[in-house]
A and B are shown apart, each in its own frame.
Chain A
Amino acid sequence: MIILFLLIAGNAFFLNLVLPWWSAALPGLFFGYRMNVTPIRAFGMGFFAVFLAWGAHATYVHMASNGVLSSRMAELFGLTQDWILIVITAVIGGLLSGFATLTSSLLAHSRNKK
């Protein structure tokens, strides 16, 4: 299980470097099909894997740039703390991946019911 989790997280991170934002859904779609878990766990794994990948990426950018832009964007969105922006980034990636993983694990479930 932990391997699938890391595979989703790692692939999401690297795919995002070459593909647009929606690539966060691809590893979940691929690995979710091979995941024999409850729907809630499938969603959770997908979600937290990319939450971690995107969150770590955004955290790195935030730190490496001394927060110059993230503090401006936080003000733009009316946020009181810069880190909320990182959380929002991570949640967006997480949701994409969560639904992707859930969708493909449900597909696997449905097919196996035959």
Chain B
Amino acid sequence: MKYLPFSLSLAAGLALIWVLSNRWGNIPPMGPFMDPDGGFWAQAERQPPSNLNDQLLGLMDSVQVFFDDRRVPHVFAQNDHDLYFMQGFLQARDRLFQMEMQTYDAAGRLSELIGPSLAERDRQSRRWGMVFGAEKAVAEVQKHEPSWTIFKAYSAGVNAFISSLEPEQYPLEYKLLDIAPEPWNPLKTALLLKNMTRTLAAGNSDVSHSNTLAYFGPEFIEQFFDTDHDLLDPIIPASRVWDFERVPVRRPDTLFVPKVARSIQPFPVPEGIGSNNWAVSGEKTASGYPILSNDPHLRLTLPSIWYEIQLHAPGVNTYGVSLLGAPGVVIGFNEQVAWGVTNVASDVLDWYEIRFENEKKDRYWHDEQWKPTSKRIEEIHVRGGETIIDTVVYTHHGPVSEVSSAITNGQSTDGQRNDGQSTDGQVGSTEPIYHALRWIAHEPSNEIRAFYQLNRAKNYDEYVEALTHYQAPAQNFVFASSDGDIALWVNGRFPNKWDGQGRTVSDGTDPLYDWQGWIPREHHPSIKNPERGFVSSANQESTAPDYPYYMDDVYAPFERGRRINERLSELENITKEDMQALLMDNYSYHAAEILPSMLSWIQTDSLNATQSEVLDSLRTWNYYNNASYRAPSVFRSWWYELYGAILDDEYDADFPLRTPARDRLVQQLKEDSNFWMVDNRSTEAVETIEDQATRSFISALNDLTEAYGVWSDDWDWGWVMNNDIPHLTQTNGLGVNDLYSSGGAESVNATRGSSGPSWRMIVELGPEIKAWGVYPGGASGNPGSPNYDHMIESWRTGKLYELPFFKEPPVGSAMSAGQESKSLVTWSLRP
């Protein structure tokens, strides 16, 4: 008994250690996490980076890295191997967690790190064949020795950094999640690129379009989806003559009618994905040399999706932004040329309805015969849960998803509803529906080779040759050179489709629905040195309707593209400042188009004093989405309400339907303000547009009052747009909230809540290239570094940093510390 107090105390102490060693829910293991030496405190940056003179195993020759005052690395290597080795090392050093998260996501492995909450996303990633696609890409890369060399060098650099880490040096997120980094390999680089393809080229409306066709009929499709807006100004000017015959394809006599599916589209693509780029010729600039500009719009996160870097080695000197996990510069410039990208919304993802022989799914019907499937067993390891085994069946089209089971497993619980709402009686069918995925991401490709060559391109011809290696996600590659050329290629690999092919769910049994080859490269839409003196793209349609091939019908509304083209036409003697102003241009073509009509429809006698005051602010608004205006907040809410009032009754179905694009509906309303959808079918009365406009205005003001209080500065668009930049994991405290910002979905400055310009860049070509840029974040991915988010304020206010582009090592090879440039931190590394 005399040892009892001792035993109790010992037990209590051991229990305490056990409790503190373990993760409880989302709470990290508090012992190691709060350790003032090795816990999260270790990530609190106490000193800025300093000079380093050291050995780095894995290098072949000596390397110098200069970090400028924004900590952007400028790498000077003696060979390609060391160049990409260092890129891997530096990216891992600054952004390791982000690199791993993105590739775990692509591989369908997030639940390994996070737990069961992400198992469904992982299952979808597997069913979409992300790893299958990445493996094909690696096989393709291996065929090209220089590419394979840089893939391996990059991986070795990442691993050199990872293996240098002790657990207390793990980035903060590893400590929060209580995980450890795993070695990098070339497959992960391929997975990262597949993730970009999923972000940018997985958009499709096959199911909803099929449903819409069945539900509303072909005239509706013709009216809302086949007709371009009058103000649409395509990327390739309509004046471009297509002097070739298209490669013919065989098409079916009648369009297949698929079973109406109720599946909710996985990985929905919000409108936040879009971008601008342009280049103006020397004839229009003050310097006499071209100026190029690019701002890719993506979901905004911390750390930023981009990593700024300069890469210098024999045969290459390039600067720009790179993706975390991939060697090379994606958007940038070198000593002769500059380039940038925006997304092409071409339809490179199609669903095929599959007929299996029986539930074993060993064979499927295609081309009048039963063909064998192959199967891939996916093991999804779940942290704190049981491993999920999922067998994914592959046809020659691609991997198969069971869409009706997606309903019962997924978001909707009423999968067995049978209310006969459909027009062809298939809704509510309990038999499983199988859709196979035909997707560009499953084609072998080697995009890194395109960037490798682009980084080294000296002129237009080398740019064009580099682009031949680029497949997906298709991009509008804008180009400018110091020779004076400007150009734009709608670039990627595009299936050669019959008109409308893959717009609806395709017949998986009929070979006429298969992709029958590709649009030959020489037929791709492109333009070089057009008469108008500029090229541009803003995700709008690539070409005028006379382009001989079918690419898609889902492009961005006309607004940004038209605004850019109008401004570029007007401007002369263009300077960097003009381009900067255009990047930050907040004009809303959308409001300019529809607001005057809305104001004419509203019945003012039914408004009270405050409502009238708000209405007056709209009457005097200049259509700019400026942070300090309240009108954009009111207009947006009013438009949303009106849009809902017009469409919601017709769209009251429990399967997905495709809604008209914003600009198309605007045009319809202007042409016929009382067209058939305006009336609310669920009421006895017949509503006119005047009724709908007035009610939706009052309802919008009520919503705004509820959310922001009485009509005051709290209604400023800068707040109402709700611009937060969250951490990748959405963890509280690691993001930046309530950025008072200008911009809008329909403005060139496409900043809106949590998405928008992820990188703004202007490059002035000439004998001495000058460039400016900014992204909302910082080089460091460490939330404990002031560098983590230091550029956000400049980004928010439209400021750009001049990008220091060195032609040779800025401090010389025989440098002594701190001699020439005090603001540069220098690493001298030897093998």
Contacts and interface: CB of A to CB of B under 8 A. Distances in A.
Contacts of B6: 103, 106-107, 109-110
Interface stretch (B443-451, B490-498, B780-788, B791-799): B780-788
Contacts of A95: 16
Interface residues of B, number: 36
A21 B16 contact: no
Contacts of A22: 17, 31
Contact of A72 (B35, B36, B734): B734
Contacts of B16: 95-96, 99
18 contacts: A16-B35, A21-B34, A21-B38, A22-B17, A68-B785, A70-B44, A72-B734, A76-B732, A77-B733, A78-B732, A92-B30, A96-B31, A99-B9, A99-B16, A103-B6, A103-B13, A106-B6, A110-B5
| B6, B45, B788 interface centre (most CB from chain A within 10 Å) | B6
B36 A69 contact: no
Given A16-B37, A92-B31, A65 B44 contact: yes
Contact of B733 (A21, A75, A103): A75
Contact of A110 (B2, B38, B40, B732): B2
Contacts of A76: 731-734
Given A64-B46, A65-B784, A95-B16, A74 B2 contact: no
Interface string A45-78: 0000000001001100110111011111111111
B3 interface: yes
B17 A66 contact: no
Interface in A83-106: 88-89, 92-93, 95-96, 99-100, 102-103, 106
Interface in B32-82: 32, 34-41, 43-46
Q: Which 10 A-B pairs have the closest CB atoms?
A: A69-B784, A75-B733, A99-B13, A76-B733, A21-B35, A65-B44, A57-B36, A106-B6, A69-B44, A64-B46
Given A65-B45, A69-B44, A92-B31, A58 B13 contact: no
Nearest to B43: A69
B20 interface: yes
Contacts of B20: 21, 92, 96
Interface residues of A, number: 41
Main secondary structure of the interface of A (DSSP, over half): helix
A39 B8 CA distance: 12
B817 interface: no
Contacts of B784: 65, 68-69, 72
Given A69-B783, A103-B10, 5 more contacts: A39-B9, A61-B46, A92-B31, A107-B6, A109-B5
Contact of B31 (A21, A70, A74): A21
Given A61-B41, A68-B784, A70-B44, A96 B17 contact: yes
B180 interface: no
B12 interface: yes
A89 B42 CA distance: 13
Interface of A: 16-17, 20-22, 25, 39, 54, 57-58, 61-62, 64-66, 68-78, 88-89, 92-93, 95-96, 99-100, 102-103, 106-107, 109-110, 113
A73 to B, nearest CB: 6
Interface string B149-175: 000000000000000000000001000
A113 B31 CA distance: 35
B29 to A, nearest CB: 9
B446 to A, nearest CB: 40
| A39, A70, A73 interface centre (most CB from chain B within 10 Å) | A73
B37 A72 contact: no
A80 B32 CA distance: 23
Contacts of B786: 66, 68
A72 B783 contact: yes
A101 B687 CA distance: 80
Interface string B1-31: 0110110011011001100100000000011
B35 A68 contact: no
Contacts of B36: 16, 54, 57-58, 61, 89, 93
Interface string B112-135: 000000000000000000000000
Interface of B: 2-3, 5-6, 9-10, 12-13, 16-17, 20, 30-32, 34-41, 43-46, 172, 731-734, 783-786, 788
B34 A92 contact: yes
B731 A61 contact: no
A110 B20 CA distance: 28
A25 B9 contact: no
Contacts of B731: 76
Nearest to A91: B34
A20 B783 contact: no
Given A68-B44, A76-B731, A99 B12 contact: yes
Contacts of B44: 61-62, 64-65, 68-70
A72 B41 contact: no
A107 B734 CA distance: 46
B32 A20 contact: yes
Contacts of A109: 5-6
B28 to A, nearest CB: 10
B68 to A, nearest CB: 21
A72 to B, nearest CB: 4
Contacts of A89: 34-36, 39, 41
Given A57-B36, A65-B784, A39 B5 contact: yes
A69 B17 contact: no
Nearest to B41: A61
A113 B38 CA distance: 40
Contacts of B9: 39, 99, 102-103, 106
Contacts of B41: 57-58, 61-62, 69-70, 89
A37 B584 CA distance: 71
A21 B39 contact: yes
A99 B599 CA distance: 73
A113 B3 CA distance: 10
| B31, B38, B41 interface centre (most CB from chain A within 10 Å) | B41
| A64, A69, A100 interface centre (most CB from chain B within 10 Å) | A69
Contact of A25 (B17, B34, B37, B783): B17
A45 to B, nearest CB: 14
Nearest to B33: A21
Contacts of A99: 9, 12-13, 16
Contacts of B38: 16, 20-21
A75 B736 CA distance: 11
Nearest to B17: A22
A50 B540 CA distance: 64
Nearest to A32: B9
A16 B37 CA distance: 7
A72 B44 CA distance: 10
| B5, B35, B788 interface centre (most CB from chain A within 10 Å) | B35
B733 A65 contact: no
Nearest to B8: A106
Nearest to B29: A21
Contacts of B5: 39, 106, 109-110
Nearest to B167: A20
Contacts of A107: 3, 6
B205 to A, nearest CB: 39
A107 B732 CA distance: 45
A66 B44 CA distance: 9
Nearest to A112: B2
Contacts of A92: 20, 30-31, 34
A91 to B, nearest CB: 9
Given A22-B31, A99-B9, A110-B5, A73 B40 contact: yes
B732 A75 contact: yes
B26 to A, nearest CB: 10
B2 A113 contact: yes
Contacts of A106: 5-6, 9
A64 B784 CA distance: 12
A50 B30 CA distance: 16
Nearest to A29: B13
Contacts of B30: 88, 92
